[in-house]
Amino acid sequence: MTCTGAMSLTEVEPLLNPLTPETYRVVARRVETGDVVTLSLEPTSGASPLSFRPGQFNMLTSFGVGEVAISISSAPGASGPVEHTVRDVGAITHALCNSAVGSIIGVRGPFGTDWGVDELDDMDVVIVAGGIGLAPLRGAISHLVDKPGRTGRVYVLVGAREPDQLTFLGDLERWERDGAVVKITVDVPDSHWQGAIGVVTTLLPTIAFDPARTVALVCGPEIMMRFTVRGLVDLGVPLGSIRVSLERNMQCGIGWCGHCQLGPLLICRDGPVFADSEALEQLISERER
Ligand SMILES: Cc1cc2nc3c(=O)[nH]c(=O)nc-3n(C[C@H](O)[C@H](O)[C@H](O)COP(=O)(O)OP(=O)(O)OC[C@H]3O[C@@H](n4cnc5c(N)ncnc54)[C@H](O)[C@@H]3O)c2cc1C
Ligand code: FES
């Protein structure tokens, strides 16, 4: 660095790079539900597929609209484009959900911590997902179900508000076929629904798992995660064996701006997946507003 205070382009570039998105092309667009879309993305540079771990997220840019954090919903190492599943809740996610095949979006990442599924070969894994919370877990579940030599069982518990808000039904069928125990419930049934009714925590007592050799992965609305963590602890799962993925509004995604602060933690840098008891205690001790 020069001592005049001015920085050359070569000096500035490494500092800017983490905030500069790479361009990706939308190569496929699949409507999952009325307001949820999965985008399949490939780098326009022709570079090799993105290397990531399940649970990590990217910052996606809809050019001219803005940038948001979105989890990677495909499995690491899967052939083909990287997938992101987006719920249309505001201006930026609306623009992303409406990105046509062939259009260009920006991608920065991957960022953050992951579910750590590689260490769980001999453990039972209980996965609890609420609504769009299945998206950040999808790659982890595929990894667990497909990994040769795993001895632990995989339980997938999914809750949605209504049947037409259930996502990844094809994956759920495939995981069940390949040995996972899959259970689904909805809060409000329609006239065709023949399955379980109730919040996702009502599924916990219906599975026969050994809490002492279980790791739980939980993602969904914060209130759902709070009740799920409490439910798991009540069934004997140690707090230290529970991992949750937390969300906060993000801007830089790399620990620079402080937008995603939760007490002493930065969700983008220390999370989004938290496995430590301190973050979980903070989550479950919060009272409903
Ligand atoms: C690590 C991480 C991973 C995420 N993964 C996904 C994903 O896989 N798929 C997906 O659809 N969304 C995901 N989100 C949430 C997504 O980033 C927000 O929905 C998005 O920022 C909303 O932006 P918007 O401009 O479309 O809506 P806005 O106009 O900003 O917000 C619309 C509504 O969503 C709420 N909101 C905004 N940001 C967030 C947030 N970060 N978390 C919760 N509520 C928010 C607002 O309070 C408001 O009610 C993730 C967020 C984080 C932090
Ligand atoms: S989003 Fe900037 S510090 Fe986390």
Q: Are 167 and 33 in contact (CB under 8 A)?
A: yes
- pLDDT the model gives residue 1: 44
Is 86 near ligand 1, meaning CB less than 6 Å away?
yes
H/E stretch holding 89: none
When the pLDDT of each residue in the chain is averaged and rounded to a whole number, the result is: 90
pLDDT tens per residue, range 141-152: 999 999 998 899
Reported as a pLDDT band with limits 50, 70 and 90, residue 109 is very high
Per DSSP, 129 falls in state E
Confidence of residue 12 (pLDDT cuts 50, 70, 90): low
Nearest CA to ligand 1 atom 24: 90
Residue of minimum CA distance from atom 30 in ligand 1: 90
Q: Show the tokens assigned to 48.
A: 């090799």
Atom of ligand 1 nearest to the CA of 88: 26
Give 153-212 pLDDT, tens digit per residue.
999 999 999 999 999 999 999 999 999 999 999 999 998 999 999 999 999 999 988 999
The pair of structure tokens assigned to 174 is 């495939």
Closest ligand to residue 249's CA: 1
Atom of ligand 1 nearest to the CA of 271: 1
Strands 214-219 and 242-245: what pairing?
Answer: parallel
68 touches 17 (CB < 8 A): no
Could you tell which of 70, 266, 274 is best to mutate to test the pocket of ligand 2, judged by most ligand atoms within 8 Å of the CB? 266
Cβ-based burial of 266 (10 A; exposed 0-12, middle 13-18, buried ≥19): buried
Residue where the block lists tokens 């002493």: 264
C-beta of 49 in contact with ligand 2 (< 6 A): no
- Widest CA span of the chain, in angstroms? 73
The bound ligand whose nearest atom lies closest to the alpha carbon of 114 is 1
Whole-number pLDDT of residue 9: 62
Residue 68: nearest ligand to its CA?
A: 1
89 lines ligand 1 (CB under 6 A): yes
pLDDT of residue 286: 64
Q: Is the CB of 59 under 6 A from ligand 2?
A: no
Ligand nearest to the CA of 57: 1
Q: Is the CB of 90 under 6 A from ligand 1?
A: yes
Quote the CA–CA distance of 242 and 256 in Å, as a whole number: 28
Beta strand residue intervals within 112-189, DSSP E: 124-130, 154-160, 181-186
* β-strands 265-266, 261-262 pairing: antiparallel
Cβ of 135 less than 6 Å from ligand 1:
yes
Which residue's alpha carbon is nearest to atom 10 within ligand 1? Answer: 86
d(CA 26, CA 45): 13
Could you tell me where the DSSP H helices lie in 122-185? Answer: 134-146, 169-177
Q: Which of 196, 286, 185, 221 is nearest to 89 (CA)?
A: 221
Whether 135 is in the pocket of ligand 2, judged by its Cβ within 6 Å, is no
C-alpha count within 13 angstroms, C-beta hemisphere, residue 131: 15
* 78-87 per-position pLDDT tens digit: 778 999 999 9
pLDDT digits (tens, 9 = 90+) for 20-58: 999 999 999 999 998 999 999 999 988 887 889 999 999
Atom 37 in ligand 1: residue holding the nearest Cα: 249
pTM: 0.91
Distance, in Å, from the CA atom of 101 to the CA atom of 116, rounded to the nearest integer, reads 33
Q: Is residue 215 within 8 Å of 120, Cβ to Cβ?
A: yes
Residue 267 CA: nearest ligand 2 atom is 4
Q: Per-residue pLDDT tens for 59-77?
A: 999 999 999 999 999 998 7
